[in-house]
Amino acid sequence: MPKITSAEQLKSHQQKAKQELDNYPVMVSLCHGTACCAIGAREVAAAFEKELAAKQSVKFIKSGCHGFCEVGPLVVVRPIGVVYQRVKPSDVPEIVERSVRKGEIIDRLLYRPGDNGKVYAKEDEIPFYAKQSKVVLAQNSHIDPFSIDDYLASGGYSALAKALFEMTPDGVLKEVMDAKLRGRGGGGFEAGWKWKFCKEAHPDLPHHIVCNADEGDPGAFMDESILEGNPHSVIEGMIIGAIAVGGADGFIYIRNEYPLALRTFHHALKQAREYGFLGENILGSGMSFDIKISRGGGAFICGESSALFRSLEGKVGEPRAKYIHSVERGYHDEPTNLNNVETWANVPQIINRGAAWFTSLGTPDSPGTKVFSLVGKIENTGLIEVPMGITLREIIFDIGGGIKGGRAFKAVQTGGPSGGCLPESCLDLPVDFDKLTEAGSMMGSGGMIVMDDQTCVVDVARYFIDFLIEESCGKCLPCREGLRQMSVILHRICDGKGLPDDVDDLEKLGRTIIDCSLCALGGSAPNPVLSTIKHFRDEYLAHINEKKCPGGICTALIEYFIVADLCNGCSTCEKVCPSDAIHPVVGQKREKGELRIIDTAKCVKCGACIEVCPTDAIIRK
């Protein structure tokens, strides 16, 4: 492939790529994201490749995440636009024979939520997709992430050509400032202002462009899915950023726990260089810029800007005080502009469609869309993109389909370990950067963990504090020691040894840590505890005063019981019990055998019996 050296050449190449795609009468898109691959998408792909080997007229792509992970592996057949769920390799011959060849719809593979008889065939009919508005994820199921031609066919790199040949660097900067694009990594700082400060800092020093793909929040996989599904959108955004800021070189810091994202991005960079979008004299404009991948070492703190730069330099990722701004002194103490994956992926869209279009989405202070990973005790787990300002209720109940198994909602956790838990009363809050912060949580990078009545908020708070103890770099005392003390108290409460003053002490400790910590990790670490105390103080008090865990989670405070009326005597529980704690009650006949009873003195509370009971006769309380 000879390099593309002008805007005209780019245009003709895009048209050629589009023509080639349009020549295929049928396209099959298989979700090949991390979650679908873990449940068999690779085997399904192999089956498709075998079946379609002789069919030149079918375009088969292994795409990035389609979003609806709950019912994967997912297959979309276009142009009929039918979605097949939970596809197995054995379904593939029938899909090829009937849907690909004849354009028929195979009823048994369609999405059927619940037992209400509703069946959905098309993407835009499925409630999970209907309320979303996709900008960043729009192309995910349409392009092969390993093919730069697919990205070009969808108009890819047009924004780059526009920024290079039709706009000045200041014009590009102004467009992003006017769009009020706020950082999607969690901080919510306006990207345009950051770019401006970086551009104006130290004109004598080289400026660096960095993409933060160290998505460390547990329960969040937005950035992973963008990198796996549409890597060129991030590359294009970064080059445009380099034009505006005057960037000399670029880096992307990807966590090593994302092998597929790493492989995809590595390949995309190679292709972008071959086509002349990266390297010397980009598109014949005279501009030079390239991007280097740096793999993270598995430290949550490296998502913090100053720690990330130290790690890029090959050092230990310890943050420094915030009065030194990374836009002025970042990587190697030179001006550095750091944005998160999703922020970068929005940039080409803003340049293509204009700031006015972008601000027409979302709310006035938080324009645009936001990608969330909707996980936990939710019916429809997956990746969603919604306009800012949508309510939590719409996200959880309309898109997410409500709580798994129809149980009661207890809380939703946003913002990862820096965020907080919001109760039922906050469900009608519009989701934007400011409203969530006011409610005691935060937007964060977009993890949304839904919890039902069988979740213990004290346990969740303890989980986050223990996570942060592991992840604290140990440089400043409030974070290093303060979190340990909070953990001691939380463990005590969960073990049924809580003291009357513990809740007040947690609040005092938490406020001190927030006020005195060096970086944002410590400065937000107590949030999961403080927000659960604020909204669920009763649960803390139940643990301390009544020695009860209302969620039925804290092992020391619960016992397992068999409900005599529900047990059918099948003895499955007895077989899996590792501690011989389940016995038959002689003379108590049930449908399939004798009633079983749990010897609480022997029970180790592992929960193996609950998992296998066919009649849900075993309870924790």
Interface ranges with another protein (CB under 8 A) = 34-35, 37-39, 69-70, 72, 215-221, 224-225, 256-258, 294-300, 311-317, 373, 375-377, 381-382, 413, 416, 447, 449, 451, 455, 460, 463-464, 467, 470, 473, 555, 576, 578, 604, 606-608, 611-612
In the bound state with another protein, the residue whose beta carbon lies nearer, of 62 and 377, is 377
CB of 173 to another protein, least distance (A): 29
CB of 194 to another protein, least distance (A): 24
CB of 530 to another protein, least distance (A): 17
In the bound state with another protein, the residue whose beta carbon lies nearer, of 133 and 572, is 572
* Cα gap 327→331, rounded to integer Å: 9
In the bound state with another protein, the residue whose beta carbon lies nearer, of 167 and 254, is 254
Q: Hunting for tokens 């400026």 — which residue is that?
A: 207
Cα 505–Cα 506–Cα 509 angle in degrees, nearest 5:
85
Buried b (16+ CB within 10 A) or exposed e, 26-64: bbbbbbbbbbbbeeebbbbbebbeebbeeeeebbbbbbb
Helix (H) or strand (E) holding 490: helix 477-494
3-state secondary structure (DSSP) of residue 168: coil
Measure Cα distances from 557 to 317, 342, 467, 486, 609 in Å.
Answer: 39, 42, 23, 20, 18
In the bound state with another protein, the residue whose beta carbon lies nearer, of 173 and 308, is 308
Cβ within 8 Å of residue 117, ≥6 positions away: none
3-state secondary structure (DSSP) of residue 496: coil
Asked whether 384 and 492 are in contact (CB, 8 A), the reply is no
Asked whether 455 and 411 are in contact (CB, 8 A), the reply is yes
Cβ within 8 Å of residue 188, ≥6 positions away: 182, 366, 433, 443
CB of 7 to another protein, least distance (A): 34
CB of 555 to another protein, least distance (A): 8
In the bound state with another protein, the residue whose beta carbon lies nearer, of 164 and 570, is 570
Q: Which amino acid is at 406?
A: G
Q: Which amino acid is at 621?
A: K
CB of 39 to another protein, least distance (A): 6
State whether the Cα torsion 523-528-529-532 is positive or negative.
Answer: positive
In the bound state with another protein, the residue whose beta carbon lies nearer, of 382 and 510, is 382
Among the listed residues 499, 423, 415, the one whose alpha carbon sits nearest the alpha carbon of residue 464: 415
CB of 589 to another protein, least distance (A): 27
Considering just the CA atoms, what is the radius of gyration of the chain in Å?
A: 26
CB of 232 to another protein, least distance (A): 20
Q: Which amino acid is at 471?
A: E
CB of 107 to another protein, least distance (A): 24
Cβ within 8 Å of residue 74, ≥6 positions away: 30, 31, 36, 66, 68, 83, 84, 85, 87
In the bound state with another protein, the residue whose beta carbon lies nearer, of 285 and 555, is 555
* Cα gap 225→65, rounded to integer Å: 6
State the CB neighbour count (10 A cutoff) for residue 472: 23
Among the listed residues 508, 513, 506, 501, the one whose alpha carbon sits nearest the alpha carbon of residue 487: 506
In the bound state with another protein, the residue whose beta carbon lies nearer, of 34 and 99, is 34
Kindly state the tokens that stand for 26: 């049928």
In the bound state with another protein, the residue whose beta carbon lies nearer, of 218 and 389, is 218
In the bound state with another protein, the residue whose beta carbon lies nearer, of 145 and 416, is 416
3-state secondary structure (DSSP) of residue 595: strand
CB of 210 to another protein, least distance (A): 14
CB of 611 to another protein, least distance (A): 4
In the bound state with another protein, the residue whose beta carbon lies nearer, of 201 and 220, is 220
